[in-house]
């Protein structure tokens, strides 16, 4: 490896055959290039999907009612299901040991939000204190709703960073400012941010109890939101979340006399289950990327192997001379292998650096759904390097073997 003479020989042969070496190297470099880009995008997709699920707590479960589509126990299809406080309270008791956080939610529709003389276009939602953890909100200022707000039906509101920036840019702090929601004054007590980004920051939260009393009088709830306690691994979490989904669904179906196989009357969404599907899809895509990448590299290896066979053919006489002078077969094998590994390694590294550079440069600017910051991590790079060296060794081995078996007399006769 550190044999100067051998390095010199490799450089000599490469210098003599610049174009040939370059073209061979190109096939390996492009192979690695394609592999790394593919893997980078695989990672990008994974990041993108992870990001999509990051908006809400990973173990969250969302329940909302719809319209029945099946006749059941004398009830006609087409009935709209309305969730009520009692559903929420009963489910909370029934499934108490499976729930981490829970909150009902009421969308305040047709509301007019004003701040001073300014009319604002944001959603108003009535939620409870724990909603913060379900929706993955973090507090930038002040506090979120608390149980007391709900109990006392306080007229307080939580706004987002986005609203703060858009509406309250002129004052130091929006805390304590008064929002007018459909003619009723709410005091701002907190500013939240959402990990999911700006599109999740269009909401103003007020206590559910206040929303019910002030805006439609009844005990209506639009949907139920839960998070489940963390599980020890992903699989358990998925199982847990599916169990919970089925439990709450069957309770609500019974409570509202809905056919058990009616899929649209009670709908439950659990990102965990979705995530599992996405991740297994991701696994498939990643495998496919590796497969395509490795195939490309194999094509490159075959190229190097071919070239090395030609090299051996061309150098038959020289190899014969070397053997006559006392070169052992292994030293010939070493010489050819060394060259093959050197070419693949150099070409491969250029491909690797080029592709990583490209990902580094372009990656952060890619803004497509489900693709986020495509990049390769150190492990992948390391794996590729190992793949390279192995590839070089394989590419060189057969030509080297042939070289070692060259018969001296015949080689020297070779003109």
Partner 1 sequence: MIQIKDLHKSYKMGKNSLHVLKGINFNVEEGELVAIMGSSGSGKSTLLNILGMLDSSDTGEYILDNVPIKNLNETKAARYRNKFLGFVFQSFNLINYKSAAENVALPLYYQKVPRKERQEKALKYLEQVGLKEWASHLPSELSGGQKQRVAIARALAAEPKVLLADEPTGALDSKTSYEVMDLIQKINDQGNTILIVTHEPDIADMCKRIVHLKDGVIIEDKKIEQVRAEQYV
Using CB under 8 A, list all residues that contact partner 1: 4-5, 12-13, 16, 317-318, 320-331, 404, 408-409, 412
Q: What are phi and psi of 243, to 5 degrees?
A: -60, -45
Tokens matching residue 315: 């150098």
Alpha-carbon span 8 to 14, nearest angstrom: 10
Which of residues 26 and 327 has its CB atom nearest to partner 1 in the complex? 327
> Given the complex with partner 1, which of 310 and 390 has the nearer CB atom?
310
Minimum CB separation from partner 1 for residue 305, in Å? 23
Strand segments (E) across 166-222: 178-181, 184-194, 203-207, 220-221
CB of 347 to partner 1, least distance (A): 22
What is the chain's length? 415
Q: Would you say 327 or 366 has its CB closer to partner 1?
A: 327
In whole angstroms, the minimum distance from the beta carbon of 322 to partner 1 comes to 7
Distances (CA, A) of 296 to 30, 38, 132, 290, 325: 8, 11, 49, 10, 40
Phi–psi pair at 309, nearest 5 degrees: -65, -40
**Helix H or strand E segment including 120:** strand 118-120
Neighbours of 340 (CB within 10 A): 28
* Rounded Cα distance, 204 and 115, in Å: 13
Question: Closer CB to partner 1, residue 49 or residue 404?
Answer: 404
Cα 357 from Cα 375, distance rounded (Å) = 10
Structure-derived torsion over alpha carbons of residues 12, 17, 19, 25, reported in degrees to the nearest 10: -60
* Cβ at position 381, least distance to partner 1 in Å: 36
- Smallest gap from Cβ 371 to partner 1, in A, equals 50
Minimal distance in Å, beta carbon 411 to partner 1?
10
Cα 351 to the center of its chain, rounded Å:
25
Least Å distance, CB 331 to partner 1, is: 7
Six token digits for residue 120 = 């604002």
User: Nearer to partner 1 by C-beta: 276 or 315?
Assistant: 315
With respect to partner 1, which residue has the nearer C-beta, 183 or 326? 326
Q: Which of 167, 335 has the CB closer to partner 1?
A: 335
Measure CA 171 to chain center.
Answer: 38
Distance of closest approach, residue 384 Cβ to partner 1, in angstroms: 33
User: Based on CB atoms, which residue is closest to partner 1, 274 or 414?
Assistant: 414
Q: State in angstroms the smallest separation of the CB of 328 from partner 1.
A: 4
Closer to partner 1 at the Cβ: 21 or 136?
21
Query: DSSP letter at 71?
Result: -
Listed in sequence order, the residues at least 6 apart from 399 whose beta carbon sits closer than 8 Å to its beta carbon are 305, 308, 309, 311, 312, 336, 340
């Amino acid at each position: 490896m550190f044999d100067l003479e051998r390095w010199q020989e490799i450089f000599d042969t490469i210098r003599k055959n610049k174009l040939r070496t370059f073209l061979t190297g190109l096939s390996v470099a492009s192979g690695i290039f394609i592999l790394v880009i593919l893997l980078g995008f695989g990672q990008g997709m994974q990041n993108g999907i992870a990001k999509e699920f990051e908006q809400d707590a990973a173990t969250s479960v969302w329940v909302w009612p719809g319209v029945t589509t099946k006749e059941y126990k004398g009830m006609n299809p087409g009935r709209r299901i309305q969730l009520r406080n009692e559903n929420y309270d009963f489910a909370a008791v029934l499934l108490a040991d499976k729930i981490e956080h829970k909150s009902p939610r009421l969308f305040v529709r047709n509301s007019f939000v004003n701040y001073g003389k300014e009319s604002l276009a944001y959603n108003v939602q009535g939620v409870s204190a724990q909603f913060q953890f379900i929706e993955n909100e973090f507090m930038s200022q002040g506090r979120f709703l608390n149980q007391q707000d709900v109990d006392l039906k306080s007229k307080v509101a939580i706004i987002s960073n986005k609203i703060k920036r858009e509406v309250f840019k002129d004052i130091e702090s929006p805390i304590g400012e008064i929002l007018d929601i459909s003619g009723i004054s709410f005091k701002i007590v907190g500013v939240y941010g959402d990990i999911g980004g700006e599109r999740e920051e269009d909401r103003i939260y007020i206590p559910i109890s206040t929303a019910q009393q002030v805006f439609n009088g009844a005990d209506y709830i639009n949907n139920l939101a839960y998070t489940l306690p963390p599980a020890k691994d992903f699989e358990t979490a998925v199982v847990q979340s599916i169990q919970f989904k089925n439990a709450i669904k069957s309770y609500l179906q019974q409570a509202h006399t809905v056919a058990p196989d009616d899929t649209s009357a009670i709908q439950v969404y659990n990102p965990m289950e979705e995530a599992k599907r996405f991740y297994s899809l991701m696994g498939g895509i990643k495998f496919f990327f590796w497969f395509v990448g490795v195939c490309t590299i194999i094509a490159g290896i075959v190229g190097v192997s071919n070239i090395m066979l030609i090299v051996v053919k061309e150098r038959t006489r020289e190899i014969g001379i070397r053997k006559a002078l006392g070169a052992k077969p292994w030293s010939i094998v070493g010489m050819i292998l060394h060259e093959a590994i050197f070419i693949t390694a150099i070409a491969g590294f250029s491909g690797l650096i080029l592709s990583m550079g490209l990902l580094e440069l372009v990656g952060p600017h890619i803004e497509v759904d489900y693709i986020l910051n495509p990049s390769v991590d150190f492990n992948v790079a390391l794996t590729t390097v190992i793949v390279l060296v192995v590839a070089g060794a394989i590419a060189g081995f057969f030509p080297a073997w042939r070289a070692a078996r060259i018969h001296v007399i015949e080689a020297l006769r070779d003109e």
